[in-house]
Amino acid sequence: MAEFPSLEWFEAVRQVVNRDGRLHRFGTCDAVMGVKVRDKAFEITFDAFECTGARNIAVADLASTDFYLEAPYETWRDMIENIKKNGAPDRQHTLNSIDFVDPDGFARSDDQTKKDKFYRYGQTFQQFFNASAEIETKFVVPQPA
Amino acid sequence: MADTTAEERATASISDELRRKAESRDWPLPVVAAALQAGVDEALIHEALDAGLTPAEARQVILKRLSGVEKLSMKWARVDTERGIRARPGKKGLTIDDINVGSYADVPDVWPDQTMRPRGSYVKPGTVSMGYTIYAKAEVWADNVGSLYEEAIQRRWAPATDIPWETIAPLSEDRERAMGQLCTALCEYNYMVILALGKWIREVSFGYHEVKLYLSTVLFDAARHFEAFRKRALCNGGRLGVQGVGWQLAPIRDALCYSEMAALVFVLNDSFVQSLYQLGGALGHNEAEARLFTLAAQDKARHLSYGVEHMRYLLEHQPERREEVRRYLQKGEEYLAKDFADDPSSREALAILLGGGLEHIGEGFQKLKTFRARQIQSYLDRVEAAGLDHRGTIWPALAAHQSV
């Protein structure tokens, strides 16, 4: 069971999504995606048809990613639990929907052309998080009573 | 002294160098010998070997030569183009950028040829002009255009089979009409893109084939979007809506240079359409709508990537055109703002979709204000990324939508 957020969790998801070449059918993707959850930051790299790396980074280094996803912890938890429940998100829990309803956006970057990679490769990133349905996740912050 | 066979005697006239090359290409030596005996110049046989003729092709050509059916010229194989190119596939396969090797990678700032000669091939004197009008690289180029072409091919999708149309379910009449109206507007816009690109692709000279190839994919994307949104409008008991006022389309249709069209389509209007696609994906009433709009948004983001990179390239290489480009954008913004003001159909349909139905249209109009402000913010961010600070010069009537 991998704890969210942790490098172990992202690495486990990366292994799943690369296991059967499922990203191949979505086409090529070249992007460095950052993830910010509470005070932790991660960098996930996509190259051609696979997710080639996941690593811990300093929050300040998110600026060097193409874009990074940031949302309250509850939003992350809802999304991951929803994906686990259905194998894929319902329409309210897709990356696109979360980005649309958040006034600041889920995907963030100082460079709009880099941020546009979030939309350009949207199906690839969604597939990455959908792969989390195939691992067991332990949340570091318990669900509020 | 060993006896020599007839074949050995026949092939004895072949030089060692030619013999080695022929054997390395699996050409039968008797065929080579027959060609030499028929008077074919040895240099021409070398050329044929280098050109990659198979043994079967070589035999056929030489037999024709021997039977007098056809004189062997081989002049085509002696042209002064760079040889020995061995492009290698990378992680994405053998891409259009991978084959830009040696002299074939040279994309000149000005293409000198009016014919449809492929870049890197030999100039044939006397070939007629194709009537292109764009010979300047800066007018059309973007450094990412080759990779965008490959991406467009790799990430293609088919509305008929990639959208789960079976998930479409009846909607309330107001929301179905609103969706039909949004789809009508998107069909209209994509049709305009098809017309615009159809006009401009033929103007681009062949030296910039990456651009021509990429624009072909955009044209196909626009056709796909037209198809997909028309299908959505007509698959759920609804209908197409009313034709839009169409102010925003007029300057695209009337653009007098490529960079004007590119600024209007690939930076200004695509920016606003991209937001509509995201809206459609987020508010989708069913899996089919969510998938349809999200896939269209992927394509549109690719179009924007070309638009921004092209504008950046143009401004870096022809900085004297900065104010000209700004004027193109302002013209488009003026017409877009007129659409916002004069066309209630899109405005009201969006408010119904954003509010969640006609009974919540007031809330929908409030959300539409926020949506418009965000559209403009993203647009200005893209223009800035292209190297043009436009925040203080955006057309006032459009800028007015920035405040929520």
Report strand pairing: A67-70 vs A107-108: antiparallel
Q: Write the ipTM.
A: 0.95
In the predicted structure, residue B27 carries a pLDDT above the cut 50: yes
Q: Which of B154, B283, B308 sits opposite A27 (nearest CB)?
A: B154
Overall number of domains in chain A: 1
How do residues B37-92 score in pLDDT, each as one tens digit?
877 778 878 877 877 777 777 777 766 665 665 667 788 888 889 999 999 999 99
Q: Is B260 on the interface with A (CB under 8 A)?
A: no
The answer to whether the beta carbons of residues A27 and A99 sit under 8 Å apart is no
How do residues B160-192 score in pLDDT, each as one tens digit?
999 999 999 999 999 999 999 999 999 999 999
H helices of B25-98, in order, are 29-37, 42-50, 55-67
> Which stretch of A130-139, B10-19, B115-124, B303-312 has the lowest confidence by average pLDDT?
B10-19
A/B interface, count of CB pairs below 8 Å: 82
User: Are the Cβ atoms of A119 and B298 closer than 8 angstroms?
Assistant: yes
- CA–CA dist A105, B278 (Å, integer): 12
Of the pLDDT bands very low, low, confident and very high (cuts 50, 70, 90), residue A144 is low
Distances in whole angstroms, Cα of residue A130 to Cα of each of A117, A135, A142, B61, B234? 18, 10, 21, 59, 31
Q: Is B97 on the interface with A (CB under 8 A)?
A: no
User: Are the Cβ atoms of B308 and A113 closer than 8 angstroms?
Assistant: yes
H helices of chain A, in order, are 7-19, 73-86, 95-101, 112-120, 122-130
Residue partners of B52: CB distance under 8 A and separation at least 6 = none
| Nearest-CA distance B21 → chain A (Å) | 39
User: Are the Cβ atoms of B300 and A100 closer than 8 angstroms?
Assistant: no
Decide: residue B182, CB within 10 A, 0-12 exposed, 13-18 middle, 19+ buried.
buried
| Nearest-CA distance B145 → chain A (Å) | 14
Q: Boundaries of CATH 1.10.620.20 in chain B?
A: 137-402
Which residues of chain A are within 8 Å of residue B297 when distances are taken between CB atoms? 96, 119, 122
User: Are the Cβ atoms of A111 and B385 closer than 8 angstroms?
Assistant: yes
Domain assignment of residue A144, yes or no: no
Q: Which residues in A have their CB inside 8 Å of a CB on B?
A: 26-28, 30, 47-49, 91, 94, 96-97, 99-101, 103, 111-113, 115-117, 119-123
Q: Which of B281, B309, B382 sits opposite A112 (nearest CB)?
A: B382
Provide mean pLDDT across the span A136-140.
Answer: 93
Query: Looking at residue B12, what is its pLDDT?
Result: 85
Query: Looking at residue A145, what is its pLDDT?
Result: 58
Q: Tell me which residue range forms the domain holding A58.
A: 2-136
Provide mean pLDDT across the span B239-250.
Answer: 93
- CA–CA dist B286, A122 (Å, integer): 18
Q: Which of A49, A100, A122 sits opposite B298 (nearest CB)?
A: A122
Distances in whole angstroms, Cα of residue B288 to Cα of each of A23, B159, B229? 21, 10, 11
Selection from B171, B174, B182, B184 nearest residue B240 by Cα:
B184
The CB density around residue A136, as the number of other CB atoms within 10 Å, is 10
Which DSSP category does A30 fall into?
A: -
Which DSSP category does A133 fall into?
A: G
- Mean pLDDT, chain A, rounded, equals 95
In the predicted structure, residue A30 carries a pLDDT above the cut 80: yes
Phi, psi of B190 (to 5 degrees): -65, -30
Provide mean pLDDT across the span A124-130.
Answer: 98
User: Are the Cβ atoms of A119 and B278 closer than 8 angstroms?
Assistant: yes
Q: Which of B151, B283, B297 sits opposite A119 (nearest CB)?
A: B297
How do residues B126-162 score in pLDDT, each as one tens digit?
999 999 999 999 999 999 999 999 999 999 999 999 9
Of the pLDDT bands very low, low, confident and very high (cuts 50, 70, 90), residue B1 is very low
Selection from A47, A42, A98 nearest residue A65 by Cα:
A42
Higher pLDDT, B21 or B277: B277
How do residues B320-362 score in pLDDT, each as one tens digit?
999 999 999 999 999 999 999 999 999 999 999 999 999 999 9
Query: Looking at residue B63, what is its pLDDT?
Result: 66
Strand intervals (E) in B275-369: none
Selection from B151, B404, B381 nearest residue B268 by Cα:
B381
How do residues A67-118 score in pLDDT, each as one tens digit?
999 999 999 999 999 999 999 999 999 999 999 999 999 999 999 999 999 9
Domain assignment of residue A142, yes or no: no
Q: Is the peptide bond before B118 cis (omega within 30 degrees of 0)?
A: no
Q: Is B309 on the interface with A (CB under 8 A)?
A: yes
Domain assignment of residue A122, yes or no: yes
Q: Which of A27, A96, A103 sits opposite B282 (nearest CB)?
A: A96
The alpha carbon torsion through A96, A102, A104, A107 (nearest 10 deg) reads -20
The two three-digit tokens of residue B267, written as one number:
């930076």
Selection from A91, A11, A15 nearest residue B279 by Cα:
A91
Name the CATH topology of B137-402: Ribonucleotide Reductase, subunit A (1.10.620)
Task: Tell me the CB-side half-sphere exposure of residue B203, using CA atoms within 13 A.
Answer: 16
The two three-digit tokens of residue B12, written as one number:
């004895």
- In the block, which residue shows the tokens 């948004």? B297
User: Are the Cβ atoms of B385 and A117 closer than 8 angstroms?
Assistant: no
Q: Which of A27, A97, A119 sits opposite B274 (nearest CB)?
A: A119
Domain assignment of residue A60, yes or no: yes
Which residues of chain A are within 8 Å of residue B283 when distances are taken between CB atoms? 100
Query: Looking at residue B268, what is its pLDDT?
Result: 98
- Mean pLDDT, chain B, rounded, equals 93
Query: Looking at residue B10, what is its pLDDT?
Result: 74
Write the CATH number for A8. 3.30.1050.10
- CA–CA dist B348, B355 (Å, integer): 10
- CA–CA dist B69, B56 (Å, integer): 17
Provide mean pLDDT across the span B228-240.
Answer: 97
**What are the beta bridge partners of residue A36?**
A41, A70
Chosen from A108, A109, A116 to mutate, greatest number of chain B CBs within 10 A? A116
Domain assignment of residue A145, yes or no: no
Distances in whole angstroms, Cα of residue B64 to Cα of each of B19, B75, B159? 22, 17, 51
The answer to whether the beta carbons of residues A54 and A42 sit under 8 Å apart is yes
**What pTM does this model have?**
0.87
N-to-C CA span, chain B: 103
User: Are the Cβ atoms of A91 and B300 closer than 8 angstroms?
Assistant: no
Q: Which residue of B has its CA nearest to A46?
A: B91
Selection from B108, B118, B102 nearest residue B317 by Cα:
B108
In the predicted structure, residue B222 carries a pLDDT above the cut 90: yes
User: Are the Cβ atoms of A94 and B282 closer than 8 angstroms?
Assistant: yes
Query: Looking at residue B66, what is its pLDDT?
Result: 59
User: Are the Cβ atoms of A96 and B382 closer than 8 angstroms?
Assistant: no
| Nearest-CA distance B387 → chain A (Å) | 11
The answer to whether the beta carbons of residues B402 and B376 sit under 8 Å apart is yes
Provide mean pLDDT across the span B26-39.
Answer: 83
Q: Which of B150, B154, B385 sits opposite A113 (nearest CB)?
A: B385
